[in-house]
Amino acid sequence: MAQLWGGRFTKETDQLVYDFNASIRFDRRLYAEDIRGSIAHVMMLARQNILTEAEKEDIIEGLEGILSDVENGKLSISEKYEDIHSFVEATLIERIGEPGKKLHTGRSRNDQVALDMKMYVRSEVRKLDDLLRDLLQVLLSTMEENLETYMPGFTHLQKAQPVTLAHHLGAYFEMFKRDHERLRDLEKRMNTCPLGSGALAGTTYPLDRQYTASLLGFDGPTLNSMDGVSDRDYIVELLSDLSLIMMHLSRFSEEVIIWNSNEYQFVEIDDAYSTGSSIMPQKKNPDIAELVRGKTGRVYGALNALLVSMKGIPLAYNKDMQEDKEWAFDAIDTARHCLTLFTGMLETMQYHKDRMEESARHGFTNATDVADYLVNHGVAFRDAHGIVGRLVLLCIEKNIALDDLPLEEYRKISDVFEEDIYEAISLKTCVNRRVTTGAPGKEAMEQVLEIYRTYLEEN
Ligand code: ARG
């Protein structure tokens, strides 16, 4: 047991209590943030004449030594300490002696941990931001190549109307773009520095909180010390943003699994992203997509767990808040891994364009367009709907597509039909006549792609 307190205690902490209370097992990953935060704190203390220049230099040198030694493996983070803050401070005192004991002047572990966690979350948000950009980039390139790759669009998982692969992927571009914007928005809102809040009521030292905040890249200090030490909103926001990212990845995974199935064969997942079966030699399974879909539950769980942990906590800091870390770390790691793997899988996946197009040709995805043809020739839509219904029935009997039904059969049901019906209901026509903003027509899609390209250049 190695703890920073103990003066007012007459007994040793029970070992089980100590272990239950300790957080070093998981907060050890905050070592770099903890040390950087301490360095900024010490620079500010010296600037305010609370520490001497010499003390500042000794402490900073000591802290930098600890950071590089941990990083290059010379110093291991011993779990005999209660938490990462205790480890860093105790190691500093062990290494530099007296000046090390002044590091914690004007600070509490409450504002210290609030700072560490904010810095960690902020840097993870930036990594996630990059990963989302990578995914958006892969989607955009694939879209650019597939403006005329026809496939069925589905509702109720039943073939509905023809779209293109570019259009289908564009729906995911929209989702992940919103996710990207949400992370940026979160970073803006969370970027205030809690250091200097003290335990809850600030401190009596003349700290320059603005200076510390700017050293650490924050927009400014938090404005209420009680909120400063007990705000975990930004973690809830992050987990909620991650939940949406996972929801989108999960829906996409589900589609990849369906598309990769033996029945569909719209895509083939690369060997490098597939797995085999221990018994069935023929198998090539989409495990990565399934795992991404499955891991979505963990991230939702983390969001729910943190919301429930936080809901009854009175001001200001309470130990319940230590529970934020394991959930946040697990959810961040999960989302980061899932984004990385999913993007890799997508980038290497083969699209069987002929199969997609063939599937769009069968299944009457152009039935609406036959009705539109009639409407354009003066038939009321409700009548047209009935006529096309009869045509579809006829085609089902003959086991052919609407494109293959002879003109005389068309004309037996309505003499409005002429030779140009075939051109009017070809996949190409069906798609390219849909040119309102957001529709799959090539012209409309090209305008949207231009907006996406600009977005990725500017963000
Ligand atoms: N391990 C603690 C946490 O993660 C650090 C803060 C401890 N503060 C305290 N007053 N016990 O929240």
How many angstroms does the Cα of residue 322 sit away from the middle of ligand 1?
6
How many angstroms does the Cα of residue 239 sit away from the middle of ligand 1?
21
Residue with tokens 């009521």: 201
414: domain CATH number?
A: 1.10.40.30
Ligand 1 proximity of 111 Cβ (cutoff 6 Å): no
Q: Which of 24, 34, 82, 110 to mutate to test the pocket of ligand 1 (most atoms within 8 A of CB)?
A: 110
440 and 367 in one domain?
Answer: yes
126 and 232 in one domain?
Answer: yes
Residue 162 lies in a domain: no
297 and 264 in one domain?
Answer: yes
DSSP 69-103: HHHTTSS---TTBSSHHHHHHHHHHHHH-GGGGGT
pLDDT at residue 93 tops 90: yes
How many angstroms does the Cα of residue 160 sit away from the middle of ligand 1?
56
Residue 296 lies in a domain: yes
Ligand 1 proximity of 114 Cβ (cutoff 6 Å): no
- Rounded CA gap, 183 and 244, in Å? 11
pLDDT computed for residue 282 by the predictor: 85
What is the Cα 216 distance to its own chain's centre?
25
197 and 304 in one domain?
Answer: yes
Place 226 in a pLDDT band, splitting at 50, 70 and 90. Answer: very high
H helices of 311-426, in order, are: 324-348, 353-361, 367-376, 381-398, 407-413, 421-424
pLDDT digit string, tens, across residues 347-376:
999 999 999 999 999 999 999 999 999 999
Residue with tokens 């009017």: 424
pLDDT digit string, tens, across residues 323-339:
999 999 999 999 999 99
- Rounded CA gap, 97 and 62, in Å? 10
pLDDT digit string, tens, across residues 249-305:
999 999 999 999 999 999 999 999 988 888 888 888 999 999 999 999 999 999 999
Closest CA to 135 of 301, 335, 351, 295: 335
Ligand 1 proximity of 86 Cβ (cutoff 6 Å): no
Last residue of a domain, one of 328, 351, 374: 351
Ligand 1 proximity of 113 Cβ (cutoff 6 Å): yes
The residue length of the chain stands at: 459
Atom of ligand 1 nearest to the CA of 83: 1
Residue 380 lies in a domain: yes
Kindly provide the b/e burial profile for residues 81-116, where b requires at least 16 CB atoms within 10 angstroms of the residue's own CB: bbbbbbbbbbbbbebbeebbebbbebbbbbbbbbbb
Residue nearest to atom 4 of ligand 1 (CA): 322
329 and 258 in one domain?
Answer: yes
Mean pLDDT, rounded, for 404-412? 96
> Mean pLDDT in the chain?
96
Q: Which of 113, 231, 235 to mutate to test the pocket of ligand 1 (most atoms within 8 A of CB)?
A: 113
387 and 295 in one domain?
Answer: no
How many angstroms does the Cα of residue 111 sit away from the middle of ligand 1?
9
Ligand 1 proximity of 109 Cβ (cutoff 6 Å): yes
pLDDT digit string, tens, across residues 423-455:
999 999 999 999 999 999 999 999 999 999 999
How many angstroms does the Cα of residue 46 sit away from the middle of ligand 1?
26
164: β partners: 150
Residue nearest to atom 11 of ligand 1 (CA): 319
pLDDT computed for residue 377 by the predictor: 96
pLDDT at residue 10 tops 90: no
pLDDT at residue 398 tops 80: yes
How many angstroms does the Cα of residue 113 sit away from the middle of ligand 1?
7
Q: Tell me what percent of the residues of the chain surpass a pLDDT of 70.
A: 100
- Rounded CA gap, 339 and 134, in Å? 9
Residue 54 is part of which domain span? Answer: 15-105
Atom of ligand 1 nearest to the CA of 84: 1
187, containing H or E segment: helix 165-190
Mean pLDDT, rounded, for 222-228? 98
387 and 338 in one domain?
Answer: no
How many angstroms does the Cα of residue 404 sit away from the middle of ligand 1?
73
pLDDT at residue 3 tops 90: no
371 and 443 in one domain?
Answer: yes
Residue nearest to atom 3 of ligand 1 (CA): 322
Residues contacting residue 97 through CB under 8 Å, at least 6 positions apart: none
272 and 142 in one domain?
Answer: yes
Q: Which of 27, 108, 109 to mutate to test the pocket of ligand 1 (most atoms within 8 A of CB)?
A: 109
Atom of ligand 1 nearest to the CA of 117: 4
Last residue of a domain, one of 311, 334, 351: 351
Residues contacting residue 362 through CB under 8 Å, at least 6 positions apart: 401
Ligand 1 proximity of 110 Cβ (cutoff 6 Å): yes
Last residue of a domain, one of 351, 378, 403: 351
How many angstroms does the Cα of residue 109 sit away from the middle of ligand 1?
6
Catalytic residues: 156, 277
- Rounded CA gap, 119 and 193, in Å? 9
Place 8 in a pLDDT band, splitting at 50, 70 and 90. Answer: confident
Residue 156 lies in a domain: no
pLDDT at residue 184 tops 80: yes
367 and 305 in one domain?
Answer: no
Total count of domains within the chain? 3
- Rounded CA gap, 249 and 22, in Å? 35
Peptide bond into 316 cis (omega under 30): yes
Ligand 1 proximity of 117 Cβ (cutoff 6 Å): no
44: domain CATH number?
A: 1.10.275.10
Residue 159 lies in a domain: no
119, containing H or E segment: helix 109-145
* 232 and 324 Cβ atoms separated by less than 8 Å: yes
pLDDT at residue 6 tops 80: no
Closest CA to 231 of 113, 147, 149, 381: 113
- Rounded CA gap, 209 and 196, in Å? 6
Mean pLDDT, rounded, for 300-312? 98
How many angstroms does the Cα of residue 207 sit away from the middle of ligand 1?
22
Residue nearest to atom 2 of ligand 1 (CA): 322
- Rounded CA gap, 64 and 36, in Å? 9
The pair of three-digit structure tokens given for residue 350, joined into one six-digit string: 């083969």
297: domain CATH number?
A: 1.20.200.10
Terminal Cα distance for the chain, rounded? 48
Residue 211 lies in a domain: no
267, containing H or E segment: strand 267-268
**ipTM value:** 0.96
Atom of ligand 1 nearest to the CA of 85: 5
405 and 364 in one domain?
Answer: yes
Mean pLDDT, rounded, for 108-129? 98
pLDDT at residue 109 tops 90: yes
432 and 372 in one domain?
Answer: yes
Burial class (CB in 10 A: 0-12, 13-18, 19+), 314: exposed
Closest CA to 179 of 242, 123, 237: 242
Atom of ligand 1 nearest to the CA of 324: 4
* 151 and 162 Cβ atoms separated by less than 8 Å: yes
- Residue 405: φ, ψ to 5°: -75, 125
Atom of ligand 1 nearest to the CA of 23: 1
- Rounded CA gap, 164 and 141, in Å? 14
DSSP 141-176: HHHHH-TT-EEEEEETTEEEEEEEHHHHHHHHHHHH
Atom of ligand 1 nearest to the CA of 199: 10
